[in-house]
Structure 1
Amino acid sequence: MKKVLTACLLFVSSLTFAQQTVQRSAKLPNSDITETFSVLRSDKKIKQGEYTATAGNNTTLAQGTYLNGERAGIWSFYNISGKLIQTYNYTDNQLTFADSTDTKGLQYVMAGVKTDDDVTVPVKIGGSYSFRPTFLSKVLTQAINKDFGPVANATFIHTFSLNSKGEVTNHQVKVCINGQNKLYQVDDSELDHDLTRFAPAMVNNNPIPCKVITTNTVAMSNGNLPDYANSTYLGQ
């Protein structure tokens, strides 16, 4: 009888929760990623409940839960092949698992580090999933097309400056095309804060500011630099 009562209560709770929310689906900026989530009926700016991010090839890239508009509990993140690359506990603000292969090619600049220091490099929360929207905004795309015109491929060197909390304070990208280089300032303020967060760099268990550098080469499909969703990343 107790089990039946518990099941009934869970059913009523889930039904009530479903009645309080509305499901939404939207494209993540500057990417081919589709987000599926629910928002409160009373305030459709507040996410509530399960969240899933899916790539254009239908691979799940992120799964987790929102509570009153904030990420809560353990979230799982996957690469484009569907391999689990990271888990993060948003309730405890703790990185619980990170696959080192997902950080291949990243470079780090930390001032004042000594050879005998205990160093922990910063980790992008969300892994490669959350890196993607920061790579190629429409404003940057338009500026590059205007400055360089038709091109076959391009190399992007992104430099993220982080404070001791792991927050991005500055984002610059050096674009290299046909032997020419140009530096652009990137504004990531339109992106969700959770998409630009890092677990901070640590030296002797103390968080410090640092820089993270990533290099990507993009092949163009039609001579002009396309949006990220229509480009092919050849390497990181």
Structure 2
Amino acid sequence: MLKNYLLLFAAITFVNTCMAQDTVEVKRKISTDVTEVYKVLAKDVNTRQGLFKALYKNKIPVASGLYVNDKRMGLWKFTDRDGVIIQTYDYTNNRLFYEAKEDTTSRLRYFVDKELKEGDKVTKPIKMGGTFYGYLPYLTLFTLPKEFKEIDRDAVVATVELLISPGGRLADYKVNLMQYATVEPFKTINMNIKLPDPADLVFIPATLNGEPIACRVIIRCVVNSRLHLDFE
């Protein structure tokens, strides 16, 4: 029995040593208010290894979990900007544990291209990462075109429009620029859906009466000082 305990202890020590050695800490600002803090292998700076957190205003962990050989593993926790948990997801088993209900204060709106009847049951598409951190890439990938850089940013709103297929894939991605108090955009920019991170193409699809259905997600945003987008 003692021998077994010693072998187990040695194995745990070996794993912990592998996880800890030869890594370098990286801090990467991904939006005006969110900074990612994680470690990469010293011999391969593109491979994330160990604990990860994304901090809102350098204090609230809106995303936290573990990377092993650049893959998310185990249970990850995602919060809103107040630190309230809005999603937990098990990346090892690809299983959603918890998704918070959204109310009228949500910055996201969902639309299915089908007339709904009384009694229909509809579920929204779900982005791994939650309704804050999970949708940040679609905001930060946008840069205001040069011809609009002199525009009064305070007089402009933007909407990010995502089309999620019944198969749970990002099928269309566009940004609409509008003047305040107007409905029609003065410019629609079609974004490339060949995104840097393939994980940003994947969703849990919306359903209608238990069957997958296409759904549009609309996110209301503002143009920030870096000429990217922030949640309104």
Asked if TM exceeds 0.5, the reply is yes
CA displacement at 1:156 relative to structure 2: 1.3
Match of 2:144 in 1: 140
Aligned residue identity for 1:96: F
Counterpart CA distance in 2 for 1:70 and 1:188 is: 22
TM superposition score normalised by structure 2: 0.79
Q: 1:1-236 counterparts in 2 under 5 A?
A: 1=2, 5=6, 6-19=8-21, 21-101=22-102, 104-112=106-114, 114-115=116-117, 116-127=119-130, 128-137=132-141, 139-140=143-144, 142-145=146-149, 149-177=151-179, 181-187=186-192, 189-195=194-200, 197-217=202-222, 226-227=225-226, 233=231, 235=232
Whether the 8 Å contact between 2:168 and 2:204 is mirrored in structure 1 is: yes
Deviation of 1:158 after TM superposition, in Å, equals 1.7
> Per-residue deviation at 1:56?
2.5
Do 2:62 and 2:133's aligned partners in 1 also have CA atoms closer than 8 Å? yes
Q: Return closer, same or farther for 1:205/1:151 CA change in 2, 3 Å cut-off.
A: closer
Farther off after superposition, 1-10 or 171-180:
1-10
Q: Is the 8 A contact 2:159 2:218 kept in 1?
A: yes
- The alignment yields a C-alpha RMSD, in angstroms, of 3.0
Give yes or no for contact 1:135–1:228 (8 Å, CA) kept in 2. no
CA shift, 1:209, in A, is 2.1
Cα distance in 2, alignment partners of residues 174 and 120 from structure 1: 25
Letter in 1 for 2:109: Q
Cα 1:90–1:12, aligned 2, differ >3 Å: closer, same or farther?
closer
Q: 1:69 to 1:232 in 2, by over 3 A?
A: closer
Q: Distance in 2 between matches of 1:18 and 1:83?
A: 30
Following superposition, the deviation at residue 215 of structure 1 comes to: 1.7
**Segment of structure 1 superposing worse, 46-55 or 177-186:** 177-186
Task: Give the structure with the larger helix fraction.
Answer: 1
Counterparts of 2:167 and 2:123, CA distance in 1 = 14
Identity between Structure 1 and Structure 2 (%): 26
How many residue pairs align between the two structures? 224
What CA distance in whole angstroms lies between the structure 2 residues aligned with 1:188 and 1:33? 23
Would you say the 8 A contact 1:48–1:65 is kept in 2?
Answer: yes
Q: How much does 1:113 deviate?
A: 5.7
TM-score scaled to structure 1, two decimals?
Answer: 0.78
Change (3 A) 1:70 1:126: same
CA distance in 1 between counterparts of 2:135 and 2:18 reads: 36
How many angstroms apart in 2 are the aligned matches of 1:121 and 1:95? 14
1:134, 1:188 within 8 Å by CA — same for their partners in 2?
no
**In 2 relative to 1, CA 207–143 (structure 1 residues): closer, same or farther, beyond 3 Å?**
farther
**CA 1:51/1:228 → structure 2, altered by over 3 Å: closer, same or farther?**
farther
2:23·2:49 contact (CA, 8 Å) conserved in 1? no
Q: Which runs of 5+ in 1 are unaligned?
A: 219-224
CA distance in 2: counterparts of 1:169 and 1:28, whole angstroms: 28
2:161·2:175 contact (CA, 8 Å) conserved in 1?
yes
